Structures are given as structure tokens and as C-alpha cells.
Amino acid sequence: MMSRCRVSLSPWIVCRPRKSSVPGPPRNRRSSSNFTLIYARCYHPEQARYCRWATFRGLWRWLPLMDAGDSWRLALLVLCLGLSGFFSASETAFIALPRARLMHLVRSRRPGADRVSNIIQRPERFLATVLLGNNLVNTAAAALATVLALNLITNKSLSVLAATAGVTTFLLLFGETVPKNIAWRRSEQVAFAVSRPVRIVELTLSPIVTLLQYFSTMTNRALGISTTTPPIGEEEIRTMIAAGAQTGTVEASEAALLEKVFRFGDRQMREIMTPRPEIVWVEHGDSLDEFLAVYTEHTHTRFPVFNGFMENVVGVLSVKDVLAGIEGLESGGVTGQLQPAFFVPETKSVSETFNVMREGGHSVVLLVDEFGGIAGLATIKQMMAVIVGQMGDEGVAPEEPVTDLGRGAFRMDAGLAISDINEELGLEIPEGDYQTLAGFILDRLGGIPEVGDVMEFGDLRITIIAMERVRIEEVELRRLDSGPGSGTGRDGAN
């Protein structure tokens, strides 16, 4: 049945055939129990159009019927949308893939890991490839959509509007949003899946990609931008460890241990040393009985030895050496078994000092202040405690430096470092010219406190509970329920 059809300006193209003088239904009827579909060819006066009209339970509707050329254009349009999604997913997957994870996969020799690593190591070339490919297919998709709209809709303004709206919507959904979301959440799987096709596209577009890479490099040099990838820093590794602890991929105990390893290199020796007033000395010329009396009272394994005054340290005495030569020492002094003393500045980092002591076979180090005096003493055991925590003597459990008393109260050693207290209790006690909590209290009070004195700082109340002459031994720290405020005082006075 031949007829002329009229194209309306509505979004649906309606073809209305003229009345036929031939009775009965048109040719090419296809029937079933649910619907009846009837095909007819309609000719438009201005352009050739193929239309189909159908009945569905008695309702007549007309839809456009594309010719062979339009069908190919539609297929190419769908292909361009798919390629746009491919390039977008590739870009996101390679950017989101964790570098530490990729290094692990390369070392474990996973198939394809080397190819992915090679692509990531050349970011300028990779980005030029995916951006060039994405722009090419997006431009082609827009052109194909416009041609299709012009062929199917006679109103040019309406056809351009429909093509623009349609291609923009589909590109945003299937060319950007959906593939990038999938690639971000499955970066490893997507990167390995697309690495080979990306490499093929890179080789295919190699001349243009090389030209774009050249202009990009020249622009970066003109702007003074470095093209080398910065190495992964300590803070980035710490962030990854913290993120792994939050997600459960790294156990909390492991994360805490790794954090202490990093702090091992950040801390100075004066933060962990035994201060000078607490050092147990042996005087040069002491007899065996005098040494054994000191050793019985203080069960250390090594003692610094001074001659005349404590700044004149002549060596270190080891209990092991004394016991090994005890037969020849019964009638003489013990200081003949001295080992050379090892000195470092108190500001030297713990990690550097540990390495030097390990290489030199030293177990004890004496720390020197800026005036050349003895500031304190440290042992290998104290350094290891920075990582693994306090260790007690054989058969004796270590004393915890902080005891939780409940209800926001803690009893602690006043010699603890401010950084340790802030980290363990989540406080913000400021650091200054002091290293310990005792130094902070003395700085705030401006004098020597007594047992029972109270100091308030912010939402903290600090009570002195133990003193040894002028040295603060223990304090009780309590969080206040009231609002923040600061002040100092004695016996509860601010």
C-alpha cells in the first residue's frame, strides 16, 4: 500500500497513510495472539522516508523506519559510545590503581603486571593516548547523532536539539559516569583487562601520540614543571597504613607497630634517655664489695664510671666482665675491667644512634648536652622499647607508665615524653623547651610544686601525687567535665 505521509513537529514522527480504496487489511500482515503488526511504505514529498505503522491491541502507532545507511550510522554511534566508556574507564583505572599494590603484583610475577607497570611509568604517553582516543570517538558520536537526527526529523532546529541532548546524555551516562565509577571501584581488574587494548591503541596512534607528548613536555619545561614522578613519602605510607587499619586489611596491632617504627627515626635520644639524676654511677677505684653493693641495690647490667667528678666519665663497667674476672678482683678494684664509653649528642635521632651502636658493638651510650655535660644515658633496650613497648627484667613484668583509673583519670610517670602522652591519650599538650610532662608542669607553675598541688590546663586537671626531693615522680591527670579554660595554682586554686 503506497501512500504519502506527513511528519509532525512533535518528538514522535507520525505518518498517516491515505485511505485505501482496496478493502481488507494491507499486505504483509504478521499476526499473533497478542498483537498484529502491519508494515506499509510511505513516501514523503520532500525526502525519501520509510515508515512502519503497527497496531497493538487496536491502537495505531507510527515509528520511523531507517534505511540501510541510517542503520550503519546507528551501529557506529553505539560503537563510539562503547569506545568512549572504554577510554574513560582506562584513564580512571590506571590513575586509581594503588602504586604499592602494583609493585607487589610485579614482584609476585602476576601475568600482565609488567605491562600495566610500563604504561603507568609513562603517564604523559598514556594520557595522550586515552585523551586523544576519547576526543575522537566523542566527536564522531556527536557527528553521527546529528546526521541521524537530520535524516529522521525534517525540522532542522529540532533535529540539532535532539541530537545534542541525546548524545550528551548518553556520553555522560555510558561514556563517563558509569565506566568511571566501575573503574574506580575495580581499578585493579579493569587496569589489567584494558592494558593490552590500550597498548594496541597507543601503537596505532603512535605518531599523533608522540607529537602530543612532545608538546606536553615542552609546555611543562616552559612552565618549570618537573616531569619525574615524586617518590612515595613517609607520610603517604603512614596514611596507607592508617587506611588499611580502618578497612581491616591491616590489623590494629600491626598498624600500631608500624607507626612506632616510623617514630623510631623521628624521635631524639633525649626523649627516651635516663636523665642524669637517675643514673647509677660507679666511682673509679671502687672495690669489688662496693661494686656488688651497688649492683645488689640496682640490678643494671652496665654502670658508667667517673673519676673525681661525674662529668669525667672514664668508661663503662659491665657486670659480665666483673664476674668473669672475679677471682682476680677480690683484693683489688673492679675498674680494671672498664670498657670505653660511647658518647653522642642528646639531639641525635634514635634510629641513627641505634645503627651506630649496633655497628660498633656498644650497649650503652652517654648523651651530651650543648654545654658538654652529661645529660643522660640510654641503652639498646630503651631504644627497642620505642618500637615494641616497655620490657621488664627477667621474670618481672614491666610497669605500665600510664594507669587508667577510670572516669577520665590516669596515673602516670611524670617523666613521660609529651609526644607519647598526646599520642596515647589523644591530648594536645603543647611542646616547648621541655620534653616531659614534668617539664611542662614546671614551666606552667613557674616553681617547684609539692605533693597535692593542682594545675589546670584547658580541660585537664593535673595533681602532683609523688615527689622525690625537687623532682616530680608521678601525677594524676583527669579530664574535666566543664568547658575549656586554662590556669595554674596550688591546692585546687587556679
Each residue's pLDDT expressed in tens, for the chain with a length of 494 residues: 443 343 333 333 434 444 444 444 444 433 333 333 333 334 344 433 434 333 333 333 333 445 677 788 888 989 999 999 999 999 999 999 988 788 888 888 899 889 999 888 888 888 889 999 999 999 999 998 888 888 877 788 888 888 888 888 999 999 899 999 999 999 999 999 999 999 999 899 888 888 887 887 788 788 877 666 667 777 778 888 888 888 877 888 888 888 888 878 788 888 888 888 888 988 888 888 888 888 888 878 889 998 888 888 999 988 888 887 776 665 566 777 788 899 999 999 998 999 999 898 888 999 998 888 899 999 988 888 888 777 655 555 566 778 888 888 899 888 888 888 887 888 888 888 888 888 899 988 888 899 999 998 888 999 999 988 888 889 999 988 644 444 444 444 33
Give the three cell numbers for residue 305: 664510671
298: helix, strand or coil? coil
| The pLDDT value given to residue 66 | 56
283: helix, strand or coil? strand
Strands of 471-479's sheet, edge to edge?
402-406, 409-413, 471-479, 460-468, 454-458, 485-488
| The pLDDT value given to residue 272 | 86
| The pLDDT value given to residue 15 | 41
The answer for residues whose C-beta is within 8 angstroms of residue 111's C-beta and 6 or more apart is: none
- Rg of the chain on CA atoms, in Å: 41
Phi, psi (rounded to 5 degrees) for 487: 170, 170
CA dist 64 and 53 (Å) reads 9
Q: Which helix (H) or strand (E) holds 395?
A: none
Task: Give the C-alpha distances (Å, rounded to integers) separating 38 from 33, 48, 491.
Answer: 14, 20, 101
| The pLDDT value given to residue 253 | 81
Class of domain 402-488: alpha beta
| The CATH fold of domain 269-388 | CBS-domain (3.10.580)
Residue 27's Cβ-count burial label (10 Å; 0-12, 13-18, 19+) is exposed
| The pLDDT value given to residue 275 | 87
With CA atoms as reference, report the closest residue to 64 among 42, 45, 46: 42
3-state DSSP helix/strand/coil percent for the chain, to nearest 5?
Answer: 50, 20, 30
CA dist 34 and 454 (Å) reads 90
Phi, psi (rounded to 5 degrees) for 187: -60, -40
Please provide the distance, in angstroms rounded to a whole number, between the alpha carbons at the two ends of the chain.
104
Question: Please, are residues 92 and 126 in contact by the beta-carbon 8 Å criterion?
Answer: no
| The pLDDT value given to residue 58 | 34
CA dist 102 and 484 (Å) reads 48
| The pLDDT value given to residue 257 | 83
| The pLDDT value given to residue 397 | 59
Question: Please, are residues 338 and 315 in contact by the beta-carbon 8 Å criterion?
Answer: yes
Instruction: Show me where the domains of the chain are located.
Output: 2-65, 69-223, 234-266, 269-388, 402-488
Task: Give the C-alpha distances (Å, rounded to integers) separating 59 from 29, 52, 99.
Answer: 15, 14, 60
